[in-house]
Amino acid sequence: MTAYFATIAKGLEEIAAAELTKLGAENVQPDFAGVHFTGDRRLMYHVNLSARTIFRVLMPIAKFRSVDRQMLYEQISKIDWSEYLTPEHTLAVHSTGGNEKLNHTHFTALQVKDAITAQQSAKYKYRSHIDTENPDIIVNTHIHHDQCIVSLDSTGNSLHRRGYRLDVGAAPLRETLAAAILQIAEYDGNITLFDPMCGSGTLPLEASWLALQIPPAIKRENFTFMQWLDFQPAVWEEVLTTAKKQILSDLKYPIIGSDYDRSVLKEAAHNAKLAGVEHQVEFIQQDFADIEPPSDQGLLICNPPYGARLGDIQELKEFYQLMGDVLKQRFKGWTAYVLTGNRQLMKSVGLRTARRIHVNNGSIECTLMKYELY
């Protein structure tokens, strides 16, 4: 079994840990902005393809003490890099964290790159070219106090880029956060889902892929693990084929998004087409004040503006009051989840919360409020 580390958004550690366990990961242990787990290569391929809440999967290959530039360079040089790449591979080095003397991530990455390429030059007389855009191999170093962890990035571009969202609204919800909210709400496609402030459609589209069992990385043609020296193409093809066989052809229950802005609904429709679900998800233009429940029971999830980037606080207070009234008067029998980054506005809803979950929307600390409507 191999140890891996999935990087995730701060605050989603427990949610991602539960998802990784469901995917078959073992020894799952949440950490700050990530989750440790173990598994074989098949599991690592499966996680890259199917995990909805993570950014990337790292495979640690070394851990050592490193307090300054010289120690870092010496320790990186001790690793036999011929086990992981050849001079024909293009290379990128990413660095996170730091300490008193290694306090600039770009500088740290340069030291690691220099140590790797110097070893290659000494052994082969030539070295890997650096490619920051689309490298074959990505080395990740994380420094915390006097410890350095060196990993290979098995993913490449962040997994939150599903490939369907080319058009975004003014304040888009990141795909991984939308997926996490759906997991918190225990959405599985067996109930009507309605987003009355859908914007460019991220939440309804994530819901449709989840309900139809479409792997979130299905549109990707390349992962960096495909360039690893021990890549197993037959195993990857088996993982991919198995996942594709599980995809459903139709939704069991409707997924509906609405918004007052016609232009963002056009973006949502375009994104739905890119996602291959244009005939599955329905988008409606309507003001929130006019919304009606599309069924007797269902799940309403929305991400209204909360003053950090959009809208005026006083106007938003009135809107949140309206939102509370509409939910209370029209959506009896439903469960609602509302994401907000403003505690003052949260109070304006005027409904008793059944649960409050703290999550981050980018750099904004938010609360996901659950309302059981009777």
CATH code at 256?
A: 3.40.50.150
What single-letter DSSP state applies at residue 288? G
Tell me: do 50 and 187 sit in the same domain.
no
What confidence score (pLDDT) does residue 172 get? 72
What confidence score (pLDDT) does residue 308 get? 53
Please, are residues 108 and 98 in contact by the beta-carbon 8 Å criterion? Answer: yes
Tell me: do 228 and 365 sit in the same domain.
yes
What confidence score (pLDDT) does residue 54 get? 98
Tell me: do 148 and 201 sit in the same domain.
no
Tell me: do 132 and 262 sit in the same domain.
no
* Tens of each residue's pLDDT in the chain, 374 residues: 999 999 999 989 999 999 999 999 999 999 999 999 999 999 999 999 999 999 999 999 999 999 999 999 999 999 999 999 999 999 999 999 999 999 999 999 999 999 999 999 999 999 999 999 999 999 999 999 999 999 999 999 999 999 998 755 555 789 999 999 999 999 999 999 999 999 999 999 999 999 999 999 999 999 999 999 999 999 999 999 999 999 999 999 999 999 999 999 999 999 999 999 999 999 999 999 999 999 999 999 999 988 755 557 788 999 999 999 999 999 999 999 999 988 889 899 999 999 999 998 888 889 999 999 99
Integer Rg of the chain from CA: 23
Tell me: do 239 and 350 sit in the same domain.
yes
SS3 70: helix
- Which of 153, 183, 204 terminates a domain? The answer is 153
- Hey, CA dihedral for 184, 186, 189, 191, is it positive or negative? negative
Tell me: do 179 and 149 sit in the same domain.
no
CA distance linking residue 216 with residue 225, whole number of Å? 17
What confidence score (pLDDT) does residue 170 get? 56
Is 140 inside a domain boundary? yes
Is 159 inside a domain boundary? no
What confidence score (pLDDT) does residue 306 get? 81
Please, are residues 75 and 148 in contact by the beta-carbon 8 Å criterion? Answer: yes
SS3 27: strand
SS3 188: coil
Amino acid at 191: I
Domain tally, the chain? 2
What single-letter DSSP state applies at residue 82? G
Tell me: do 366 and 268 sit in the same domain.
yes
Tell me: do 140 and 195 sit in the same domain.
no
Tell me: do 182 and 145 sit in the same domain.
no
Domain of residue 148: give its range: 2-153
Please, are residues 255 and 190 in contact by the beta-carbon 8 Å criterion? Answer: no
| DSSP element (H, E) containing 108 | helix 105-124
| DSSP element (H, E) containing 116 | helix 105-124
Is 125 inside a domain boundary? yes
Tell me: do 190 and 325 sit in the same domain.
yes
Q: Show the CA angle centred on residue 179, arms to residues 175 and 183, nearest 5°.
A: 170
What confidence score (pLDDT) does residue 314 get? 80
What confidence score (pLDDT) does residue 310 get? 52
Is 164 inside a domain boundary? no
CATH code at 16?
A: 3.30.2130.30
Residue 317 CB contacts under 8 Å (≥ 6 apart), including other chains: 344, 345, 348
What confidence score (pLDDT) does residue 305 get? 87
What's the whole-model pTM score? 0.94
Tell me: do 253 and 326 sit in the same domain.
yes
Is 160 inside a domain boundary? no
Is 161 inside a domain boundary? no
Is 158 inside a domain boundary? no
Tell me: do 182 and 74 sit in the same domain.
no
